[in-house]
A and B are shown apart, each in its own frame.
Chain A
Amino acid sequence: MRRRLRSFGGLLRNVRVLLPFIVLIAIWWGIKSGFGVSDRLLVAPPAVWSSFVTLVSHGILAEYASTSLQLIGIAALVSFAAGVPIGFAVGANRYAARSLEGFLRFFQGISGIAWLPLAILWFGFTHTTTLAIVIYTLIVPIIFNTMVGVRAIPENYVLALRSLGASRLRIVRDVYLPGALPSIVVGTRLGMGYGWRALIASEMLVRQGGLGDLIFGARTFNQIDRIMVGMIVIGCLYIVVDRLLVQPVETMTLARWGVLRR
C-alpha cells in the first residue's frame, strides 16, 4: 500500500514539473498557427520533434553533444586540478592572498569570451582555442573561491589542532580541505555557469563541432527547427550536469556542516 502511495507521489511530482512545459508548448503552437508566423521566424512543435528524431537517429546530435561534453569535462578537470591547489597555496599565505586578490578579481571581469579573438590568433580555429577559453573561464572563480574559503577558516581551528600535536600535513587534511570545501563548491558552480556559456560561444565562433556549432551552423541554412532542438538539448544537458553532479555535492557539504559561510 505504501509503495503505491509513494510512486503516486512521485508521479504527481513529475506531472508538476512537466505541466508548465506542456502549457508553454501549447502557447507556442497556438502563436505559430494562430498568427501564421513564418517558418523563417518560428517553427511548430511537431517540426522540432521530427528534427530531433532525425538528428538522434543519424547520430548527429550525439556527436555534437559529446564534443561539447568532452570539452567541458576536460576543462573542468584541468581547472579543478590546477585551480584548487593554487587557491590553497595562495589562501594559506597572507601576502600571496593580498597581492592576488585584486588581480584575480580584475580578470574575473574580463570574461573568457573576450579573450576568444586572441586565442584564435594563437591557436587558430581548433579545439585548443575552445579549451583554453573555457579553462580560463573556469579556473579564475575556482582559484578565487578556494582562496576565500581557506582564508575564512577561523584561526582557532588551526591552533586547536596544533595544540593536539597535529603536523602541517594533518592540518591541511583535517582543517583546510574540509573547511574550504563549501566555498570551492560555490566557486565551481559559478565557474560552470560561466564556463558552459563560454563553451557555447566559443563553439559558435570556432565552428569545429559541439552544440554551439550546431545551432550557429543551422542559422546559415535557416533551419529554425534544428536551432530549437539544439537550444533545448543545451538547456537539458546543463540542468542534468548541474543537478546530478554539482548540486548534490553542495547540499551534502552544507547540510552536513551547517552553514559555514560568513
Chain B
Amino acid sequence: MAAMGASGEKITVSGFRHYFRTDGGRVQATGLVDLAIQPGEFVTLVGPSGCGKTTLLKAIAGFITPSEGTILCDGRPVRGPGRDRGVVFQELAILPWRTVRRNIGHGLEIARVPKAERERQVARLIDLMGLAGFEDRYPHELSGGMKQRVAVARTWAAEPEIILMDEPFAAVDAMTRLTLQEELARLCATTRKTVFFITHSVEEAVFLADRVLVMTRRPGTIKAELVVPRHGTGGRDWDSFTADAEMRGIAEQVMHLVHAERVG
C-alpha cells in the first residue's frame, strides 16, 4: 500500500520498520516509524544508544532498503543514495588525499559545475565555516573539529534537497562541539536548508532544532514530538539559550522523556 506524501513534504516515512538477519534469526533494528519533514525545517531525533535512529537515517539516505514501509523524498520513492539527500557522517568521510578546497568542491565537481562558479561557492563556504587560511591543507593536518567543518561544508556546497546528519559532532571534544553547534545554527539561519539531525545529546537536539523527535529504546518508535520556537532570525547561541527559561523547560521535558527510556 503506497503512502501518498502530503503535498510539499520533503521527506515522508510511512510504516517503516527494519530488521537485521543474524545467525539466531531476526533482530529488530527499529519499531514502527512514521514521520514527515517539511521543507526548510531543522528536525532532530534524539534517543538512547541502539534505538535505531542511525538505521532510520541510513534508510532515508538510501544506504539500506527498509524491510517494511516506504520512504519518499519530494514525493518520489527513495532508491539508493543520491545527490538529493546529502549526508554528514560521524566518522571521517572526507577524502584524505584532497585539500580542504577540493573536498568542499567535490560535490560541485561531480555535478559538473563550471570552475569559476565552483570556486565562488567553495570560497563562500570556506568563509561561512571559518576555514579561511586552511584551504590548501590536507585533512591529516587539521584538528577533529576542522575536519567536521570540512565535511559539513562539502555537503552544504552540493545543495541537496535535504541534509542528513548522523551524530556529526559526537567524536569531537566538548568545547569544539559547542562551537560547531553554534556555527551550524548560524549556517542554517543564513542558508535555508532542510536538515534531519540525529544525536543522543538532549541539549544538542533542542539547541539546533525547530522540532525535536524523541525515540524510544530498541526497537525504537517515535514517542513524542516537541516544537522549539524560534525568536529572531539569527542562529541560536549558547549564552542566550541557557538563559532562556522556555528553552530550558523544553530541554527538561525532552530529558525526562529520554531518561524514561533508560530505565530497565
Contact = CB atoms under 8 A, between A and B. Distances in A.
B203 interface: no
Contacts of B107: 164-165
Nearest to A177: B97
Interface stretch (B38-46, B75-83, B122-130, B247-255): B75-83
Interface residues on B, range: 20 to 34
A11 interface: no
A160 B83 contact: no
B83 A179 contact: no
Interface in B140-168: 140-141, 154-155, 158, 160
Interface string B96-111: 1100000000110011
Nearest to A178: B97
B82 A165 contact: yes
A8 interface: no
B86 interface: yes
Contacts of A167: 110
A157 interface: yes
A160 B138 contact: no
B97 A162 contact: no
A242 interface: no
B109 to A, nearest CB: 9
B93 A154 contact: yes
A170 interface: yes
Q: Size band of the A side of the interface?
A: 20 to 34
Among A161, A165, A259, max chain B CB count under 10 A is at: A165
B158 A260 contact: no
Contacts of B106: 161, 164, 174
Contacts of B208: none
Interface string B8-38: 0000000000000000000000000000000
A135 B94 CA distance: 37
A157 B96 CA distance: 10
Contacts of B205: none
Contact of A156 (B85, B91, B138, B160): B91
**Secondary structure type dominating chain A contacts:** helix
A159 B91 contact: no
A8 B86 CA distance: 56
A178 to B, nearest CB: 4
A229 to B, nearest CB: 44
Nearest to A181: B97
Contact of A163 (B61, B94, B97, B111): B61
Contacts of B134: none
A256 B87 CA distance: 26
Contacts of B94: 160
B70 to A, nearest CB: 20
Contact of B81 (A157, A163, A179): A163
Interface pairs A-B: 9 shortest CB-CB: A258-B140, A165-B83, A162-B81, A160-B93, A164-B107, A156-B93, A163-B87, A178-B97, A257-B97
Interface of A: 154, 156-157, 159-167, 170, 174-175, 178-179, 181, 253, 256-260
5 contacts: A160-B93, A164-B83, A165-B83, A170-B110, A260-B96
